[in-house]
Structures are given as structure tokens and as C-alpha cells.
Amino acid sequence: MAAATRLIGQHQAACTKQQQQQPQQQLLLPCHHKQPPAGYLVSQQNTHVAPAAAGEVQPLRLGRTLELQACARAWMYRHVQCAAVRQHRCHSSSSSSSSSSSSSSSSSSSSRSVSSSSSRTSPLAITVSCPGLRMRALQVPLIAAPMAGITAAPLRLMYTQAGASMAVSEMVIAATLQAGNAASRHLASWHPQEGIRSVQLYGVRPQTLDWAVKHLVQEYGVHHIDLNFGCPVRKVTAKGGGSALPLRPRLFRRLVAAAAAAAGPEVPVTVKLRMGLGPELITFLQAGVVAADAGAAGLVLHARTADQQYSPPAHWEAVQQLVQAVPGLPVIGNGDVFEAADAVQLMRQTGCHGVMIGRAALGRPWLFEEAAAMLAGQWPDRPPPNLGHVLRLALQHVTAWADWEQDEL
């Protein structure tokens, strides 16, 4: 433990020095975010729905109007950003193809990035027939990632209706759930139309995690639990939690074992990891082996280090290494899946058993429908939704979200 604490301290000091030398960037935040990510400035004022006073008529009218505006801007921001990514990929693909016209077709087919425009001319070159990821009783090859402040019940329902096999809840902290915190109970609540009830859980004490898992299974009817050991937030890793916890393998083993035993044989427990804190502190292979031995039903690897946060590129080769390190255990790949073709390519390139999609689906819930079709060997040949359709979905989402928050208050 002392050695791990020393390594974490040295790493955090180096990161602080590096961060002080870099200018801050601006980021447009979705309306749900309470705090901006480290290193960013908020470029707009966030709004929140307040509880209604007794006897008020239509108490959320003004708040809902502000939410609609903020959420629509956030959806449009993501839509434009992902369009820019597609354009950049197409440009890079065309540039590379013109500069290497003499290269063989076999070498070009091994390229990681697959643009939509090039793949339409030969769809069979990238589609695969996926038998589906199975974790005990669950079959979930395509998962919507947990995102704090974002994946509340209305958006989870929208994702699963669009084609996601499962949508994981926002992170629930085991200690606050045990303490009876109302916000934690709200995060663990479910929409009546949701199918698989999947919750991401975080805890650093085996006894607390044991209680929280049993409570979620017995009182909330949870079908799947994802343990979060991939949080890159510095205030968490600086205390030895999140992505830093695998540096303490004995405690890490005890936490996974406690959760798996408390969940029982019918509720699979997966472990979400990052590659490590930084390039000098890589932990995912050892952590994967330890988690498998402790009873984990599957692993999720976000193929970046905590230092990278969400900066490109994601290191898909790490997913392949983890697949090889834990034969027989399902591994879910995560990171840089911006298009349906990326999900197929990630599974083909790494041999992983499923794909988790997070930021790329913000403002684009139809991405799950397209990815599900391609993973089934079909080709969704249709133009992308126009801006009017995007805005209608945004209004549908934020209206459902406001109603959900009001009902839970």
C-alpha cells in the first residue's frame, strides 16, 4: 500500500506540473453537468430544474424552456463534432489512398479507420456476423456506456429503443447508497419500460460493496453490475481510487470477490478498467487476470490511460492483449467508436466479445441501431438524419428527462 501511494503521489505531482504549463480549453457542456472536467472552462451557464413549491401551477415551465434550449445546443454540438470527425476520417482515408495507390488491397483492409463513404462501395469487406456476447444469462454485444450526469433513465431508454443491448446507469457510490443518500437512490432507479437493469457501482471497502450489491439486487432488481475501476478524475485517483486502485492488487481482488459473491450466480459482475494511470503505470493486464480469478463475469477496457482522459487515440491493441490474457472471459472494448463501422472493426481487430459506446452516441442515439445492424451482418444503407430529426430527438429527450426528474423529486 505504501509503495502504491508513493507511485500515485509521484505521478500526480508530474501531472500537476504538466497541466500548469498547458493553457485551458473551452468546452460546451451538456445541460446535465454539475462541474466541468478538469482543465476546461464552462462556455455557457448551466441550468437545472428546481423542485416545485406546493400549489404552483406548471412549476417547470420556465426551467423546462431553459433545459430545452441548453440540451438542444448540446445535441447539436455533438452532432456537428461527430460530423467533423467523419469528415476528417474521410479526408485522411482519401489522402492515404492517393499516396499509397501501389499498396496491396490486403494492407489497406488492415487499416483501423473505416470511413462510411468507402465502405458503402464494398459493405461485405467490413460486416461480420456476431453471435453475441454472453455473460451468464445476459446476451449483450452492444452496450451504452455509463456517463455521470448524462445516462439517466430517459436517455438509457432512448438508447435501448435505438438498438443498444444494454444501457448502464450513472455511477452509484456504494457508501452514499448505504448511508441512505437520496441522490444515490435516484441514480439507481429505473424506468418501467427499461429491460436489463444495469448499474455502475463504485466502492473502496469490501464490506460496503457487499452491502450495496445485495441491496441493489434484492431491492432494485438489478440484472447486471459494473464495478468502476476506470475513473480518470484526478481528485479520485490522487486518493488511490478509480484508475489508481488496481495498483493495490490485494484490495482490488477483495473488492471484486466481495461484489461477485454478493451478486450471486445469476447476476453478472463486470469490471471496468483503464490501461493504467499513465504510460509508466500500466496495470490493465494484471488487473484483468486478478479480476477473472476473483469471480468477474467479464471485463470492460477503455483503451486509454487516466492521463489521456478522452484524448485520441484509443489503443485498441491493449484490448487485444487483454483478450489474450484472460481466455474464456468476455472482454468488452471501449474507446474511439465513433461510427458503426468502428464497432465492427474493433471486434474484428481485437477479438473482443462486445463494444461499449459512450461519447459518440451523445446527440446520435441512432448509432446503436446502425452498429447493431452491422454486427448482425446487415448494411444500414440510408442517409444520416437531418438536423430537424436531431432537434426533435433532443426535445423528446429533455422533456422526458425533466418529467423524470420532477417525478423523482
What string of pLDDT tens digits covers the 409 residues of the chain? 666 565 656 565 566 555 555 544 333 333 333 333 333 233 333 333 333 333 333 333 334 444 444 455 555 555 555 555 555 555 555 555 554 444 443 333 333 333 333 333 223 233 333 344 555 555 668 899 999 888 888 889 999 998 898 999 999 999 999 999 988 988 888 888 888 899 999 999 999 999 999 999 999 999 999 999 998 888 888 888 888 899 999 999 999 999 999 999 889 999 999 999 888 889 999 999 999 999 999 999 999 998 888 887 899 999 999 999 999 899 999 999 998 889 999 999 999 999 999 989 988 888 998 888 888 777 766 777 788 877 888 888 878 777 777 765 4
| Three-state secondary structure string covering the chain | CHHHHHHHHHHHHHHHHHHHCCCCEEECCCCCCCCCCCCEEECCCCCCCCCCCCCCCCCCHHHHHHHHHHHHHHHHHHHHHHHHHHHHHHHHHHHHHHHCCCCCHHHHHCCCCCCHHHHHCCHHHCCCECCCCEECCEECCEEECCCCCCCCHHHHHHHHHHCCCEEEEEEEEHHHHHCCCHHHHHHCCCCCCCCCCEEEEECCCHHHHHHHHHHHHHHHCCCEEEEEECCCCHHHHCCCCHHHHHHCHHHHHHHHHHHHHHHCCCCCEEEEEECEEECCEECHHHHHHHHHHHCCCEEEEECCCCCCCCCCCCCHHHHHHHHHHCCCCCEEEECCCCCHHHHHHHHHHHCCCEEEECHHHCCCCHHHHHHHHHHECCCCCCCCCCHHHHHHHHHHHHHHHHHHHHHHC
Q: Which residues have CB under 8 Å from 34's CB, separation 6+?
A: 46, 149
Q: Catalytic amino acids?
A: 231
CA dist 210 and 148 (Å) reads 22
Write down the pLDDT at residue 312.
77
CA dist 328 and 322 (Å) reads 11
Write down the pLDDT at residue 376.
78
CA 67 to chain centre: 23
Write down the pLDDT at residue 66.
45
Neighbours of 6 (CB within 10 A): 10
Q: What CATH class has 134-379? A: alpha beta
Q: Where are the domains of the chain?
A: 134-379
Q: What is the pTM of this model?
A: 0.71
Write down the pLDDT at residue 193.
85
Write down the pLDDT at residue 336.
92
Write down the pLDDT at residue 110.
35
Write down the pLDDT at residue 137.
54
Write down the pLDDT at residue 91.
53
